[in-house]
């Protein structure tokens, strides 16, 4: 798969304009090497643990966001930047995870 990165805002604009082919430019990888998956897991764990009352606890919301961002970043050619909420709202993250 060639890496032609696409901005999530471009996809959102197509959806807003009623383009039925808005997701056509999204490329999704079928496989990632275990070393890449390990890096993804480490990054998700690092961004999911918070300190609360001198204890380390998992923040479920931060974990979900970190997981979604890692999946999009490593498995697709979509750049989300700071548009996570919009990517969720318009079904872009679900599309990537489902495919």
Q: Would you write out the chain's pLDDT as a tens digit for each of its 99 residues?
A: 557 999 999 999 999 999 999 999 999 999 999 999 999 999 999 999 999 999 999 999 999 999 999 999 999 999 998 999 999 999 999 999 999
Domain ranges, ordered by start, for the chain: 6-98
Sorted by sequence, the CB contacts under 8 Å of residue 92 that are 6+ apart come out as: 8, 11, 12, 23, 26, 78
Nearest to 75 by CA among 41, 47, 99, 52: 99
- Dig out the tokens for 75 from the structure: 């498995």
Q: What pLDDT was estimated at residue 74?
A: 97
> Is the whole-model pTM more than 0.85?
yes
Q: What pLDDT was estimated at residue 2?
A: 55
Compute CA distances 64 → 16, 34, 76, 88, whole Å: 26, 21, 17, 12
Q: Find the helix or strand (DSSP H, E) in which 55 lies.
A: strand 55-58
């Amino acid at each position: 798969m060639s890496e032609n990165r696409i901005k999530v805002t471009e996809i959102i604009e197509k959806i807003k304009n009623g383009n039925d082919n808005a997701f056509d430019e999204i490329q999704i990888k079928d496989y990632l090497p275990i070393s890449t998956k390990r890096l993804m897991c480490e990054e998700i764990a690092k961004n999911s643990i918070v300190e609360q009352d001198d204890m380390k606890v998992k923040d479920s919301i931060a974990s979900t966001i970190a997981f979604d961002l890692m999946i999009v970043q490593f498995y697709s050619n979509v750049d989300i930047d700071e548009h996570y909420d919009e990517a969720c709202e318009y079904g872009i993250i679900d599309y990537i995870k489902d495919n």
